Amino acid sequence: ETESPRVDGGGPADPGFTRPQEGAVAQAQSREGSRLEGATQLEVALGGEHEDNVSRLRSSSLEIREKGSEILREQLDAAQKELKLKDKECERLSQVRDQLEQELEELTASLFEEAHKMVREANVKQAAAEKQLKEAQGKIDVLQAEVSALKSMVLTSTPSSPNRQAHPQLLSPGTRSKGASPRHGGGHTRNKSASWALPLAPGGNLDLHSLQPVREDKEMDNVLYAEFLTWKDRPSLDRTSAFLGRIYREDIGPCLSFTKSELSQLVQNAVENNSLTIEPVAVSALPMVKANAIECGGPKKCALSGMSRSCKHRIKLGDRESYYHISPSSRARITAVCNFFTYIRYIQQGLVRHDAEQMFWEVTRLRREMTVAKLGFYLTDTDQG
C-alpha cells in the first residue's frame, strides 16, 4: 500500500490511485453491516427471551393466584364448617338453657303450690283444733255446772233432815210413784219442766251421765241474717258495712267500754289489729319482770276499770313495753271480743267450711258471749279456794 500522491492544483486525483481506498471503504461497510446484522440478531434473540420470561412470569403468577385462591377456598370452607358446628353447639346449648328454665319454673310453681297447700292444711287443722278446744271447754263448763248443782243438792241433805228430792229412794213406794204430796213433809216437788232431771243408776246412786239440760230454742232474725249474707259475699273487717257496724254499736263498743276510756280505745285497736297478748301472772315471777317493762295497775287493781280486784292476768298492746293487769271480768270481756274477731277472720280467709246459716248462728253465739261478759258474767274455776 503506497501513499497516495498529492495532487497539486486541487484537481481530481488520478483514478489509479483511488481504487484501493474504495476497497477499504467497502470492507468497512461490510464489517459495519455484519455488526449491525449481529446486533439485530442479538436484539431479536433478546426480545424473544424477554417475551419468554414475561410469559413464564405470567404463567407462574396465574399458578400462584390459582393456588392462593384454592388455599383461601379451603380455609373458607373450613371456617364455614367450624361456624356450622358452633351454630349447632349454640343451638344445643340454647335448648338446654330453655329446658332448664322451664324445669326451674315448673319446680318453683310446684314448690309454691306445695307451700300454699301446706299453709292451707295447717290453717284448717288449726281451725279444727281450736273448734275442738272450744267444744271441749264448753263440755267442761257444763260438767262443772252439773257437779256444782249436785254438790249443792247433796249438801242440803243430812241424816236428820234428808232431802227426799235428792234421795227418792227414801220415799214410800206409793209416794215414789205418784210424787211427793203435802201430807208427806210438805216439801218442794219437781214437775216435768224442771231444769235438771236426776235419774238414778242401779244401786240408788245418781247417774251423772244421764243429766240433760233444758233444750234451748232459737229463731232467726231476718234483718240480721240479710246483713250477714251481704257481708259474707265480700267479707272484710271494714266497720262501715251494715253487719259489722251494728255489731260495733251493739256489742264490741259496749263490751270494750271501760272506765279508763283512753286505754279502752288502745285495747280495741290492738284487738282489731290482732296484736293484743293476754298472759297469766305468776306470783313468783312478778319480781323478775324486765326493767324496761312498765307495770300498769297491779295484782290487786285492774288497769281498765280502776277497781281493786284480784288480777291474775295482764295484757300487752302490740310492741309497747307496758303491761296492764286486768281483772277476771275485764279479761272475759276482752276474750269474748277476741273470739268474735278470730271467727270472722277465719270466714274472711275462707277457712270456715260451714253453710251460711251455721256461720250466722255461730256469730250470734259469739255476740251473746260479748253481751254476757259485758253484764259482768264470766266463768271461773270452781275448784279454787
Q: How far apart are CA 288 and CA 302, in angstroms?
A: 20
pLDDT attached to residue 61: 83
**Residue 30 pLDDT class (50, 70, 90 cuts):** confident
DSSP state of 250: I
Please report the pLDDT score of residue 229 as a whole number: 94
pLDDT at residue 204, as a whole number: 52
Task: For residue 219, give every residue at least 6 positions away whose Cβ sits within 8 Å of its Cβ, in sequence order, or none.
Answer: none
Q: What percent of the chain has pLDDT over 90?
A: 42
Which set of grid coordinates corresponds to residue 270? 290492738
The residue-averaged pLDDT of 131-135 equals 89
What is the rounded CA–CA span in Å between residue 119 and residue 137? 26
**Predicted pLDDT of residue 57:** 83
Q: What is the mean pLDDT of the segment spanning 357-374?
A: 93
Residue 177: name the closest of 169, 166, 187 by CA: 169
